[in-house]
Amino acid sequence: MPKPISQNTLFYGDNLSILREHFPDECVDLIYLDPPFNSSRSYNVLFKDESGAESDAQITAFEDTWHWGADAEQTYHEMVQNAPANVAQMIGALREFVGTNQMMAYLVMMAARLTELHRVLKPTGSLYLHCDPTASHYLKIILDTIFGVENFVNEIAWKRSDAHSDAKQGAKHYGRVHDILLFYVKNEDTTFNSIYGPLPQSTIDNWYRNVEPETGRRYNKADLTGPGGASKGNPHYEWKGITRYWRYSRENMEKLEAEGRIVYSKSGMPYQKRYLDESKGVAVQDWWDDIQMLRGIQDNGERLGYPTQKPLALLERIIQVSSNEGDVVLDPFCGCGTAIAAAQKLNRRWVGIDVTHLSISLMKYRMKDMFDLQEKRDYQVIGEPEDVQSARQLAKDDRYQFQWWALSLVQAKPLGGTPTALSGTSPKSSGFGGGREGVKGARIEGKKGSDKGIDGVINFIDEKNKTGRVLIQVKSGHVKSGDVRDLRGVLDREEAALGVFITLEEPSKDMTTEAVSSGWYHSDLWQKDYPRIQILTIEDLLNGKGIDMPKSVPGQFKQAEKVKKKEGQQGELGI
């Protein structure tokens, strides 16, 4: 049995292996997953037979190419042999129907993970699977089998984009503007906190037409008779000369009368006043068109440049409805960490899993930027390099993964990069049984940031109306003094306050001299000079050394909402 984890946690690695190695049964209250899938590919491609192909079943986060190859075949056979009988029968039937193609490779991968997610979900827990109509009907078959058809709750449609027409590009279909959220529970005794939206203006105009002269409050007149009469147990008595089956007891009617909440028609029939200002609104339905997609400069700084990033409000709604404060929220494909950020904001405990260092780096940046949370102090990261030797191996395996990991050590925002391994999974991970091959299977295509020579950035506020930037450059190979001169040129070009050169290798004497000769940045607020270019080795960072820079002055510019941590000891996550 895995040891309980006592704090919020980010896992780096294959989510299937991590679920098996670190999660006991029934330890999570809410699961949200948004597994990447390429809905833009045509059905002809998705369902093309690939049974003869030998290519790896590379499952990617953004290009989302899925292939049926040796790895998918192995996963399929392990599931048929080791999965619960009904799941094995279902996946076999799907193969007979769907065939051996990209869609089936996706379904095999998802079935394996959804089986594990059902295992770790508490009896009162809920699961939301975010997908689109391309594969939602197949995923529902899988979920019906694993969770049981009786535990399906809703198919929620989220209007993710504005109306648009692809006809100009020759498309012959209606505009595709919504995603699907498949909502399942472990059993009927689940957490569900109803939420309400505002009343439509037409409802206000048509239903709340009455106004109290003395207060100006608008109200509608509700029927006080008891529907169903005696069969529903409604009381029968005379009220103000009218005998009926009433909705309330005589005592409660007298209370309403005393409070001035009964109004009478010309015929003397009583009606209850229901005030507009006391209305909860309209209960949220299964069509969500009130949460807007992220829109560049209109997103209040929420956008992180992650292609599949979802609005924070979307995850806040899910978490508010299907969990309570202190509950554990799991996102096994956490990408840039929107679900984790929403959970932290709403005082839930959280666990996130991802297979790219870019995602882990973005989440560290987000936790610092939104909540001033620090790794090790406020949460832990499991699976990342912890010494120079393992960092050197990471750089050897993939220099872009190394770059993003290094940026996370200083909580810088990564710039550029395109992870092409499925966020949270490994192409080499099998469906059931077998060891962990996770991180080795991930492939990354990276690039420099939009400004050449900048890998990451840290913003700070030195004093009122004065902002500064720290530009970060990461090197995993041979370094020389010319690299520091180049960074100096970037600082001058970008008019940045400070530059940091992170290197795996020890800097030469010439490099140190070049950095020192770059001058100083002076902070009037702190009355201190800071080296304009600083060289930090990976060993320095692992030993706790950080960037010498001004501390930001709070409250000088609009940031994501800061959330104060409630007093008291947080219990163990049970993971």
Write out pLDDT tens, residues 241-270.
999 999 999 999 999 999 999 999 999 999
Nearest to 331 by CA among 389, 344, 419: 344
pLDDT band at residue 304 under the 50/70/90 scheme: low
Amino acid identity, residue 560? A
CA distances from 514 to 14, 453, 484 (A): 42, 17, 7
- In this structure, of 77-91, 114-128, 288-302, the range with the lowest mean pLDDT score is 288-302
Q: Give the mean pLDDT of 421-447.
A: 38
Question: What is the per-residue pLDDT across 323-336, written as a single tens digit (0 to 9) for each?
Answer: 999 999 999 999 88
Contacts of 148 (CB under 8 A, 6+ apart): none
Q: Are 316 and 346 in contact (CB under 8 A)?
A: yes
The whole model's pTM is what?
Answer: 0.77
- Give the side-chain half-sphere CA count within 13 A for 127: 31
Question: What residues form DSSP beta bridges with 331?
Answer: 352
CB atoms within 10 A of CB 215: 11
Residue 461 has pLDDT above 50, yes or no: yes
What mean pLDDT value characterizes the chain?
A: 84
Confidence at residue 563, expressed as pLDDT on a 0 to 100 scale: 54
Please name each of the domains of the chain with its CATH number: 9-162+177-195+285-445 (3.40.50.150), 197-278 (no CATH), 456-542 (no CATH)
pLDDT band at residue 574 under the 50/70/90 scheme: low
Residue 3 has pLDDT above 90, yes or no: no
Q: What per-residue string of b and e applies to 86-122 under the rule 16 or more CB within 10 Å gives b?
A: ebbebbeebbeebebbbbbbbbbbbbbbbbbbbbbbb
First to last CA, the chain: 9
Confidence at residue 134, expressed as pLDDT on a 0 to 100 scale: 86
Q: Are 101 and 291 in contact (CB under 8 A)?
A: no
Q: How far apart are CA 129 and CA 287, in angstroms?
A: 16
Nearest to 445 by CA among 407, 388, 404: 404
Q: How far apart are CA 543 and CA 508, in angstroms?
A: 20
Q: Give the mean pLDDT of 529-536.
A: 96
